[in-house]
């Protein structure tokens, strides 16, 4: 069983559009949408949810008004201004609470509970391209790296149970905690970038992260014809670093049209774009075969 993650150094580079097309071209694959903060692969694949589970991570303070005597000590102690006066008692603003537990430990009436925090939901679904594991954090919640790890573990377990030989992940943009979790245990990273100075800058940052994991890298330049000179610079730099060039994808209205129809690009009748994606996917699989 091998694992491919499609990532980008910044949001909006076209990562999910490429990942959706590769999901269509892949065979015997489990699909994982690891962008748990702002997932959108489901918009293209229309998953039918088979199971749904809550995701709990960390704790938050909750004041029991029946036990609170309104002394205000918790409000004085809270460094995050998360405790607010509420009539004769106090309450905790869950969005401001950092779960430090100071108020819980020092409340003289022991009126503050410290339950696990419900941060979001994760799902196992069926799509027209195969099974899919995905999730959605509630707005403003943290610990997305932990949720990404959970999804990857579930995806690998499902692949083993079903005898599938590939886990294909739509990763997260940037280089933060969720990306680090996305990279753990991955055989190959496909980095989608754009021909702009910021695109090259972010490519360098995420490629350096891949190097720390000793993960092989393939670079795909999206909307290459917007700035051909910059595309040449990106490809020259990538080749000098020893990265495989997965191909160039043009700027095309068909990408937006496919999104509006909730289709991936290889499901449209645009033979030229389909040929480019097929060639890119063939090169990615060839590189995957060289991974130890």
pTM (2 d.p.)? 0.89
Could you give the number of structural domains in the chain? 2
CATH number where 80 lies: 3.30.70.20
**Segments of the chain scoring below 50 in pLDDT:** none
Do residue 208 and residue 262 come from a single domain?
yes
State whether 27 and 79 are in the same domain.
no
Last residue of a domain, one of 114, 134, 159: 114
Which pLDDT score, from 0 to 100, does residue 292 have?
A: 66
Helix axes 271-288, 15-25, angle to 10 degrees: 80
Domain containing 139 — which CATH number?
A: 3.40.50.300
Q: Work out the mean pLDDT of the chain and round it to a whole number.
A: 92
pLDDT of residue 87: 84
Report d(CA 286, CA 111) in Å as an integer. 61
Residues 277 and 151 occupy one common structural domain: yes
Domain identity same for 50 and 70? no
Q: What is the 3-state secondary structure (H, E, C) of the chain?
A: CEEEEEEECCCCCCHHHHHHHHHHHCCCEEEEECCCCCCCHHHHHCCEEEEEEEEEEEECCEECCCCCCCCCHHHHHCCCCCEEEECCEEEECCCCCCCCCHHHHHCCCCCEECCEEEEEEEEEEEECCEEEEEEEECCCCCCHHHHHHHHHHHHHHHHHHHCCCEEEEEEEECCCHHHHHHHCCCCEEEEEECCCHHHHHHHHHHHHHHHHCCCEEEEEEECHHHCHHHHHHHHHHHHHCCCEEEEEECCCHHHHHHHHCCCCHHHCCCHHHHHHHHHHHHHHHHHHCCCC
Judge if 238 and 197 occupy the same domain.
yes
Q: Are residues 52 and 70 in the same domain?
A: no
pLDDT value of position 174: 85
If 0-12 CB within 10 Å is exposed, 13-18 middle and 19+ buried, where does residue 51 land?
A: exposed
Q: Are residues 146 and 208 in the same domain?
A: yes
Which one of 114, 131, 159 terminates a domain? 114
Q: Do 98 and 133 lie in a common domain?
A: no
Say if residue 222 is in the same domain as residue 108: no
Burial of 197 (0-12, 13-18, 19+ CB in 10 A): exposed
* pLDDT computed for residue 139 by the predictor: 83
Same domain, 85 and 189: no
What is residue 28's predicted lDDT score, i.e. its pLDDT?
A: 84
- Which structural domain, as residue segments, surrounds residue 221? 2-56+120-289
194 and 151, same structural domain?
yes
Task: Count other C-beta atoms under 10 Å from residue 66's C-beta.
Answer: 7
Do 93 and 225 belong together in one domain? no
């Amino acid at each position: 069983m091998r694992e491919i993650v499609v990532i980008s150094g910044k949001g909006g580079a076209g990562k999910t559009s490429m990942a959706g097309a590769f999901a269509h071209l892949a065979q015997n694959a489990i699909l994982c949408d690891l962008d748990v903060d702002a997932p959108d692969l489901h918009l293209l694949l229309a998953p039918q949810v088979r199971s749904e589970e809550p995701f709990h991570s960390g704790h938050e303070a909750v004041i029991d008004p029946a036990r609170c005597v309104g002394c205000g000590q918790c409000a004085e102690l809270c460094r995050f201004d998360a405790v607010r006066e509420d009539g004769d008692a106090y309450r905790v603003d869950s969005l401001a609470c950092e779960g430090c537990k100071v108020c819980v430990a020092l409340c003289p009436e022991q009126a503050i509970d410290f339950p696990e925090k419900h941060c979001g939901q994760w799902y196992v679904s069926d799509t027209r391209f195969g099974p899919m594991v995905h999730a959605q954090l509630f707005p403003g919640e943290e610990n997305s790296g932990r949720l990404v790890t959970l999804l990857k573990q579930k995806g690998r377990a499902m692949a083993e149970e079903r005898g599938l030989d590939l886990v294909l992940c739509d990763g997260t943009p940037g280089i933060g905690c969720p990306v680090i979790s996305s990279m753990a245990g991955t055989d190959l990273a496909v980095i989608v970038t754009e021909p702009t100075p910021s695109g090259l800058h972010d490519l360098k940052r995420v490629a350096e992260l891949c190097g720390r994991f000793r993960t092989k890298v393939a670079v795909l330049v999206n909307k290459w014809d917007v700035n051909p000179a910059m595309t040449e610079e990106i490809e020259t730099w990538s080749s000098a670093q020893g990265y495989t060039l997965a191909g160039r994808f043009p700027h095309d209205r068909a990408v937006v049209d496919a999104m509006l129809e909730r289709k991936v690009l290889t499901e449209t009748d645009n033979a030229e774009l389909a040929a480019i994606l097929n060639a890119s996917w063939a090169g990615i699989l060839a590189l995957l075969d060289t991974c130890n």
